Structure formats: structure tokens, C-alpha cells
Amino acid sequence: MLTSPCLACLLLLLLLRLSFPSSAEVFFEERFDDDNWESRWVKSDYKIEEGLAGNWRHTAGTWFGDPDDRGIRTYPDARFFAISAKFPPINNKNRTLVLQYSVKNEQKIECGGAYVKLMSGYVNQKRFSRDTPYSIMFGPDLCGTDTKKLHAILSYNGQTYPNKKDPKCETDHLTHVYTFIIRPDASYTILVDNKEREAGSLYTDWDMLPPRKIKNVHAKKPADWDDEKEYIFDPNAGKPEGYDLILREIPDPNAKKPVDWDDEIDGEWKGPKIRNPEYKGPWKGKRVKNPKYKGKWRIPWIDNPDFVDDPDLYVFQPIKYFGIEVWQVKAGSVFDNVLICDDPEYARQVAQETWGQNKEVEKESYAEAQKIIQAKEQEEKRKEDSASKYSKHRDRIKHDYVKDRWRKEEHKHRSRVHDYDYHDEF
């Protein structure tokens, strides 16, 4: 039987959904609100024989914005996690496809994925693994300090293609909502927490098709192409008559020939020169547009003869499965609020309802949890330090004891040797 708070939540959810656009079609939605979620999902046996198959815990996590908003959390560490759900086939021809979910990486993930997959055709869900073909792979992937990818990988004609722009994911320990929108005009948008992270075209940001245009590598710059100077000085604009005859230096008018200078012996006297105050340098005049300048020459683009358009580039084989398949060194990712629909506005409102209204409370919960965690770590460190000091003290006592025994034995030995030497003398 539902408690009154749960009933209130459901009523609020119903009211919010009534306010959503009636034109939105929801293909699949999972909020993990009830304890029967496992009946709708299939856990894969992937890596179970090697003892490396991970498991899932139904929880809101260690910190949260709403304790009743539960998801599924990976555990334990160093495992492969694979789980999937099936739904009626989705045909996205002539319609927008929206994939959205939230994930909270509570652990210091070190190296591991937090992405999801959409799959077409038949999938043996009990054998769902990294080798299972997929249509879309989307979401965070972190490893060390270098890899902070937000995967957006699409399948086309049996091959997979990553997004060339390589968008980045969030790296903190709070919940984030990831949204991937693909439209019939082959445009796309990637949102993080309802804010645009990347956008563009399937034609340009994936290499599924050859480019429409290519550079004409055989083109050469024309011989008369001037791309050196866009502006030049007008040589005839107001140039004073005789300007070019003005000398840079002139004889110093104040210099006098030394009295002892002998022209016959010393040669003709030529006084020192000084800078001509009337000399203004080369005539520059005003700058004018160079009539020969044609701009920087660039290799021209031409139509690519290998390009063949596919108006259905955005269309996938009917999608039937949603799956989570990741490897994590450190487990602790909480997946929640999965949504596949055809209306970006509906997805935006769902994100606001499930994440936006609770994000500030979650931040406060996280801060309080960190205080508890830090206090626990400090207490454990204190115990370790105390144990280490005790161990060092014990080792020192043992060392002193052994050293004292060694001194006593050495003293006895020397006493025996002395007695032997003494009696030997007599």
C-alpha cells in the first residue's frame, strides 16, 4: 500500500505530466520508482563465469535531492556491469529521436564508463555485453586525468562512428542529466543539465558519409595573384617637389677646419656631417587600397565525386532495447530517469522535474555527506597513526631488549676469554 508521501508524489507527477505537450510520444521511460523494477530489466550473465559480473543496488545513493527518487547503483568495484530493458520497436523516420537519462558518479571513478546504449534487431539480453552491436552509444567515460569524454557514437552500415568534436562530460559527484537529440534534418543537439553542450550536423560531425566538398589539390595560385599587401602608400598623393632630393645628412655648418690642417699633406678637408633636420624619411603619403591585391589565396573547394547523399542518414533500424554496459574500476554510479521520446520540450521538462527541482538540495546533502566521510577518514587515519606508533614503540622495545641480551652475552664471552687467558699465564 502506498504511503501518503508516495501518493502525493504520484499526484504531483500526474499533474506535471498533464502540463506536458500532448503531442509528445514517449517510447520508453523508466524512473525506478518501485521495488518491482527488476521484473522490467534483464541482468546479463556477461563475465559471471569469471567472477567479474557486477550487480545493481536500488537506492537513491549516499547523497540525494529526494530520498524517494531511487535509481540503480553499480557495485562492487572492478566489475563489468550489463543490464537491459526491452520495449516496442521505435521507428524514427520523419520524427525526432530524444535519448535522455541521469547519472551520478558518487565514487572517485578513476577509470570507467557511465554511458548507455540503444540497440536494434534481436538481442539476447542474458548475453548482452560490450560485443553486442548497438545503434547509439551515449554518455560519460572517464579514465585518469586525460579521458573525460561524452561519447556520442552512431552506427551506420555496420560500423560505428564517434562524434569528431569530442565533447566533454562532467567530473564531479553530483547528478547530471545527459540528452541527445537527433532530428529528421540530420541536425543534432547534446545537452547537459538542459544546457547545450554541442550541436551540429550528422553530415559534418561524424564520418559516416564522405564530405560533400573537398579541396581541389590540383589547383595552383595564378601567377598574377597579389596577396602580399592589401594597402600601399600612394606615391603621388601630395608629394612635395624635390622631396626625394633631400639628403639624410648634411655637413655640420658649425664645424671649422683645424688651423693646422694642410690640404697638400692632409688632403681636402671635409667636415663632419650631421642629421639633416629637413629629412623626413622616405615619402609615405596616405595609405590606399592596393588595386592588384586579391586577398589571401586559398585552395578552392569542389564537389566531392565520391559523395552520395543518404536522406535517411538519421534513421536507425527499429530500436528495441535500452542497455547499460560498462566496466568500472571503482563502482558507485547511480543511473536513473531513462527517457526515450520524440519531443525535446517534454524531455526538458522531465529533466527539470526530476533533477532541476532537487539539485540544490542534493548539493547540500553532498556537503553534509562529505563532512561525515572526511570525519570518518580522519578517525581511520588517527587509528592507523596510533597503531603505527604502537608498532614502532613495540619494535623499539624489542630492539632494545635484543640489544641488551647481546651486550650481556658479549660480556659473558669476554669474561670467559679473560679468565682463560689469566689461567693460561700460570
Binding residues for an alpha-D-glucoside: 115, 117, 134, 141, 325
Binding site: what residues are annotated?
Answer: 115, 117, 134, 141, 325
Between CA 85 and CA 325, with CA 99 as vertex, the angle to 5 degrees is: 45
**b/e per residue, 343-358, with b = 16+ CB within 10 A?**
bbebbbbbbebbbbeb
Which among 133, 35, 140, 38 has a CA at the least distance from the CA of 84? 38
Which among 177, 116, 115, 190 has a CA at the least distance from the CA of 359? 177
Residues 6+ apart with CB under 8 A from 339: 26, 28, 29, 98, 99, 100, 101, 347, 350
- Please, are residues 176 and 102 in contact by the beta-carbon 8 Å criterion? yes
DSSP letter at 239 equals P
**β-bridge mates for residue 104, sequence order:** 175, 334
Residues 6+ apart with CB under 8 A from 105: 114, 140, 142, 173, 332, 333
C-alpha span between 224 and 216 (Å, rounded): 20
C-alpha cell at position 54: 557486477
C-alpha span between 181 and 24 (Å, rounded): 14
Between CA 409 and CA 414, with CA 412 as vertex, the angle to 5 degrees is: 110
324 phi and psi, to 5 degrees? Answer: -115, 120
Which residues in 17-135 belong to E strands, given as ranges?
A: 26-30, 42-43, 55-59, 71-75, 79-90, 97-105, 111-113, 116-120
Which among 106, 103, 173 has a CA at the least distance from the CA of 138? 103
